[in-house]
Every structure is written in structure tokens, then in C-alpha cells.
């Protein structure tokens, strides 16, 4: 441990910390087209297309709680998280490696469950298990998945390409995964120690599904391809809309206006948010885990993207950098967007 000087990590925040750690590295190989800072690294192997590489880690007690997160779902979700990062580069995943830190409380049958979820996601997204690593863990289950993909060179989409007046599009409603988590946490507390108790989930199946069985938006990437659209920028919404839009603004050197009444929020989110005294808009802006994509396209593409059959919504537009990023309320006032730290993947 370094004892000469101590800077608390909180003074930098998650993204400041990543910048701090990665900034001193200079790329040595011309093959690294894009290093740290986007949803996946972009590597030129000399083939016709680029190789994409993304890695994500899930920690028990931080990212999931095994008392209410079934292992099969956890395996499935870990793969979806990786695929979503590859789609966010406008590419397609092809293979994963899976590394696990296994605590003594898990049995072979538990790990079979975890891997049946991983297998189901590999089937759904057409990808292969390419390897991994297995270690004992003293701090609970750790799952780390690296995802490899490919993208045609002319289609690779970064966080940095948004242009003035572009439309900001998202691929589905937001906040449901976060409310799904709040519901699971509520039932865990309510049922703590009660034998044979039944959790109260009726009416909220959609929220649970969004938390426990998320979808990576492959069909949107395929639709963009079919329509001949290459977005100017794209990112996946793992950490929440506000934080991810700020990444796009920072890297594209632009500002943004998103409109409150255009942000799609499911009926179930409103209902449960009211029950739990949570602001549904805050859940939509800052709740992580949605794994929807946010992309920008030139204004002229509006009709085309609105015709996508997958609930693509135009929620705002790109502005001059000096205007910052803000949410516009129905009465016309602007609320500056703020990022949340250490959240999601
Ligand atoms: P995502 O939420 O899309 O998985 P992150 O916010 O975790 O992305 O990471 C943002 C970028 O920073 C990615 O390019 C990632 O590879 C990089 N990154 C994150 N943590 C580290 C680290 N410890 N060392 C090097 N690069 C990192
Ligand atoms: Mg991402």
C-alpha cells in the first residue's frame, strides 16, 4: 500500500478514477483503434472488419444479491451486459470468456444453474463460450465476462460522434429495471425470516423481467443495418440515461436537451414508484441496468427511426457544447443533468 500520500477515491468518482488510471498509457500498437473510454475497445487485426472487446465484472453484494437473484438469471444477465456493450459499438458479439470466483457456499448444482443461464444467453445471441478462469473466492461470487465481437469498419459507432442538431434516440422505456430491483429489495426485507412467505409481485411482472431477464437490443442494430443508417454516436444505458448522455456530450464536445414528456416510462414504473415514494423520472434518468441503447442520428433520419418496430423514441436533440446537458420540463425550465457515480456496469 502507498503510505506517503492518500487521496480518497471518492474525490475522483468512478469515471475520474478510470481516466486517472488509464490516461498515462500510450498506445504502442497501431492495431488499437480505440482504447479505454467507449463501450468496447476497437482492434484492427488486419481483417476486413474490426474486432470489438469489452469486459464487465459482477460482484455479489454489490451488483447482485443471491437471496433474490436466481443463479440462472444471473448467468443470463452477465452475458446480456457484455452483448449490450458490443451492440453499442454497432457490432455483433461472437464469443465470451467467463471467469468466476466461487465462494464455498455454492454447490456444483448452483454453478450448473449459473451456466445454464450463460448457455441460454449464448443460444439467444448466437455466441460461443471461448474460455475463462475458475478460482476460489472468500468474498462471495464474482463473475467477469469478456465479450468479443466484430463490426464493419465503416459502421463502428463511438460515443464521440454526435453532431449539432442530431436527434437523441433511445430504444425502449427506462427505469423499469431499477424499480424491479427496488421491488425485490422490498420483498426481501418484508419476508426476512418469515417461513414459507409469498412475495407480492402481482402486477409488476414487467419490472421483474426487466431486472432479472434483460434484453440486449440486437434487433435495433439489425434494423439500423437494414435501413442503411449508421448512427453518429451510440452508448448503452447501463448506468442510467443522465450519466450516459453526459458521456456522449463530453466525448462529442456538445450539449443536449432532452424533454421530460418524451421520456418513455412504463405504467408499472409509475405505480410502484408512487407506492415506494420514489420519483419515476429520477428512476428513468438515474436508474441503471436498463441496457437500452441511446444513439444519435441526423435530423433528416427522424421519419425512418420513428418507424422502427421496437419502441425507438426520439427524446431530444444535440446542442452547442456551451448549453450543457439539461432536461426540459413541460413548463420550459431546464434542469442540468448530473451523473451518478459507481453504479451498474
Ligand atoms: P460500461 O458501463 O459500458 O461497461 P464502464 O463505464 O465500465 O463501461 O467503462 C468505461 C470505459 O473505461 C471502458 O472503455 C472500459 O474499458 C474502461 N475501463 C473501466 N475500468 C477500467 C480499468 N480499471 N482499467 C482500464 N480501463 C477501464
Ligand atoms: Mg456500456
Residues 187 and 213 in one domain: yes
Choose which residue among 16, 17, 18 to substitute to test ligand 1 binding: the one with the highest number of ligand atoms within 8 A of its C-beta.
18
Residues 186 and 109 in one domain: no
Residues 127 and 195 in one domain: no
**Closest ligand 1 atom, residue 36 Cα:** 14
**Closest ligand 1 atom, residue 85 Cα:** 3
Q: Is residue 218 in a domain?
A: yes
CATH of residue 130's domain is 3.30.1330.10
Q: Is residue 157 in a domain?
A: no
Find the largest Cα–Cα distance for the chain. 61
Query: What's the gap in Å between 170 CA and the centre of ligand 2?
Result: 14
Residue closest via CA to ligand 1's atom 2 equals 345
Domain-ending residue, one of 123, 152, 181: 152
Query: What's the gap in Å between 56 CA and the centre of ligand 2?
Result: 9
Instruction: Find cell 450463460 and name the residue.
Output: 118
Residues 204 and 95 in one domain: no
Distance CA 56, CA 175 (A): 21
Domain-ending residue, one of 127, 152, 177: 152
Q: Is residue 19 in a domain?
A: no
Distance CA 182, CA 309 (A): 30
Cell of 166: 442530431
This model's pTM is above 0.75: yes
Q: Is 324 exposed, middle or buried (0-12, 13-18, 19+ CB in 10 A)?
A: middle
Cell of 103: 465462494
Q: Is residue 82 in a domain?
A: yes
pLDDT tens string for the chain (345 positions)? Answer: 777 889 999 999 888 999 999 999 999 999 999 999 999 999 999 999 999 999 999 999 999 999 999 999 999 999 999 999 999 999 999 999 999 999 999 999 999 999 999 999 999 999 999 999 999 999 999 999 999 999 999 999 999 999 999 999 999 999 999 999 999 999 888 888 777 777 888 899 999 999 999 999 999 999 999 999 999 999 999 999 999 999 999 999 999 999 999 999 999 999 999 999 999 999 999 998 999 999 999 999 999 998 887 789 999 999 999 999 999 999 999 999 987 644 433
Residues 73 and 136 in one domain: yes
Q: Is residue 11 in a domain?
A: no
pLDDT tens figures, 225-271: 999 999 999 999 999 999 999 999 999 999 999 999 999 999 999 99
Beta bridge partners of 134: 100
The half-sphere exposure of 96 on its side-chain side, counting CA atoms within 13 A, is 32
pLDDT at 340: 63
In the sheet that holds 128-136, the strands lie side by side as 32-34, 41-43, 49-59, 142-152, 92-102, 128-136
Query: What's the gap in Å between 237 CA and the centre of ligand 2?
Result: 7
Q: Provide DSSP, 224-238.
A: HHHTT---SEEEE-S
Residues 38 and 107 in one domain: yes
Residues 135 and 183 in one domain: no
Distance CA 191, CA 198 (A): 8
Residues 216 and 101 in one domain: no
Instruction: Find cell 460522434 and name the residue.
Output: 161
Residues 321 and 224 in one domain: yes
Average pLDDT over the chain, rounded to an integer: 94
Q: Is residue 132 in a domain?
A: yes
Residue closest via CA to ligand 1's atom 23 equals 18
Number of H helices, E strands in the chain: 10, 13
Question: Which helix (H) or strand (E) element contains residue 96?
Answer: strand 92-102
Residues 208 and 315 in one domain: yes
Strand stretches in 167-245, DSSP E: 167-170, 233-236
Residues 96 and 177 in one domain: no
Q: Is residue 17 in a domain?
A: no
Residue closest via CA to ligand 1's atom 11 equals 37
CATH of residue 210's domain is 3.90.650.10
Domain hosting residue 37, numbered range: 31-152
**Closest ligand 1 atom, residue 22 Cα:** 25
Cell of 312: 425507438
Per the structure, the count of domains in the chain is: 2
Q: Is residue 57 in a domain?
A: yes
Query: What's the gap in Å between 186 CA and the centre of ligand 1?
Result: 31
Residues around ion ligand 2, judged by CB within 5 A, are 39, 85, 236, 238
Distance CA 227, CA 34 (A): 26
Query: What's the gap in Å between 105 CA and the centre of ligand 2?
Result: 31
The DSSP bridge pattern shows strands 92-102 and 128-136 to be: parallel
Residue closest via CA to ligand 1's atom 17 equals 36
The DSSP bridge pattern shows strands 32-34 and 41-43 to be: antiparallel
Residues 107 and 179 in one domain: no
- Please give all residues whose beta carbon lies within 6 A of any atom in ligand 1, as ranges: 18, 21-22, 36-39, 56, 85, 236, 238-239, 345
Going from the C-alpha of 139 to that of each of 60, 105, 115, 312, the distances in angstroms are 8, 11, 20, 40
Amino acid at each position: 500500500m502507498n503510505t506517503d500520500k492518500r487521496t480518497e477515491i471518492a474525490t475522483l468518482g468512478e469515471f475520474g478514477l478510470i481516466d486517472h488510471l488509464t490516461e498515462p498509457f500510450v498506445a504502442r500498437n497501431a492495431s488499437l483503434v480505440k482504447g479505454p473510454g467507449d463501450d468496447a475497445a476497437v482492434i484492427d487485426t488486419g481483417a476486413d472488419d474490426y474486432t470489438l472487446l469489452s469486459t464487465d465484472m459482477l460482484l455479489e453484494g454489490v451488483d447482485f444479491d443471491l437471496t433474490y437473484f436466481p443463479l440462472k438469471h444471473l448467468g443470463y444477465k452477465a452475458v446480456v451486459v457484455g452483448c449490450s456493450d458490443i451492440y453499442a459499438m454497432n457490432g455483433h458479439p461472437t464469443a465470451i470468456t467467463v471467469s468466476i470466483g466461487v465462494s464455498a457456499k455454492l454447490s456444483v448444482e448452483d454453478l450448473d444453474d449459473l451456466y445454464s443461464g450463460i448457455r441460454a444467453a449464448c443460444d439467444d445471441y448466437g455466441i460461443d463460450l471461448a474460455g475463462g478462469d475458475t478460482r476460489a473466492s472468500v468474498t462471495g461470487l464474482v463473475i467477469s465476462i469478456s465479450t468479443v465481437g466484430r463490426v464493419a469498419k465503416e459502421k463502428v459507432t463511438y460515443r464521440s460522434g454526435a453532431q449539432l442538431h442530431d436527434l437523441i434516440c433511445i430504444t425502449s422505456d427506462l427505469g423499469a429495471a431499477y424499480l424491479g430491483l427496488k421491488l425485490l429489495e422490498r420483498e426481501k426485507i418484508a419476508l426476512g425470516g418469515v417461513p414459507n412467505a409469498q412475495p407480492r409481485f402481482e402486477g409488476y411482472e414487467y419490472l421483474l423481467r426487466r431486472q432479472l431477464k434483460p434484453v440486449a437490443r440486437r434487433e435495433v442494430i439489425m434494423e439500423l443495418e437494414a435501413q442503411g443508417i449508421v448512427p453518429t454516436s451510440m452508448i448503452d444505458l447501463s448506468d442510467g440515461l443522465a450519466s450516459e448522455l453526459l458521456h456522449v456530450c463530453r466525448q462529442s464536445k456538445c450539449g443536449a436537451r432532452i424533454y421530460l414528456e418524451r421520456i418513455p416510462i412504463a405504467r408499472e414504473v409509475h405505480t410502484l414508484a408512487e407506492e415506494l415514494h420514489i420519483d419515476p423520472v429520477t428512476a428513468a434518468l438515474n436508474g441503471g441496468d436498463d441496457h437500452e441503447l441511446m444513439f444519435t442520428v441526423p435530423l433528416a433520419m427522424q421519419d425512418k427511426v420513428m418507424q422502427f418496430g421496437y419502441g425507438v423514441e426520439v427524446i431530444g436533440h444535440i446542442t452547442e457544447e456551451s448549453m450543457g446537458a439539461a432536461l426540459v420540463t413541460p413548463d420550459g425550465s431546464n434542469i442540468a443533468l448530473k451523473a451518478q457515480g459507481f453504479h451498474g456496469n
